[in-house]
Amino acid sequence: MDRRSSRDPHDERGREQVTPADLCALLTSQPVIERAKGVLMGYYGVDADTAFELLRQWSSTRNIKLHTLSHAVAEAASRPDPRPYGSLQSYLEAEGLSAR
């Protein structure tokens, strides 16, 4: 009888293989995704899960990597504009991205 459980670190069955490159990409992209989520939370008045879902949907429909899109959203929001969220609004309109 095989006594190994699915929690056994040596049991490779059914476990997704994450490479060091995957982990590095995740760790370097996560802060920009969090910034973009924060921007969208403030702009749309939504929670973190909804903001992430917006990013995920936009990324999927535009075929743009989530990190790249998140960077563009955070960058647009940081541009000077006299209107609150004005530069972000301009970016979203130019890209055809909207949740409203």
Query: Which residue has tokens 């490779």?
Result: 12
Task: Give start and end residues of each alpha helix (H) in 3-98.
Answer: 20-44, 48-62, 66-78, 86-95
What integer is the mean pLDDT of 82-92? Answer: 87
Res 4: pLDDT: 45
What proportion of the chain, given as a percentage, has pLDDT over 90?
43
Burial of 42 (0-12, 13-18, 19+ CB in 10 A): middle
Query: Which residue has tokens 């209107």?
Result: 83
Domain ranges (residues) in the chain:
36-95
Contact 67, 33 (CB under 8 A): yes
Q: Other CB atoms closer than 10 Å to residue 85's CB: what's the count?
A: 16
What integer is the mean pLDDT of 49-70? Answer: 95
What integer is the mean pLDDT of 33-49? Answer: 93
More confident call, 62 vs 18: 62
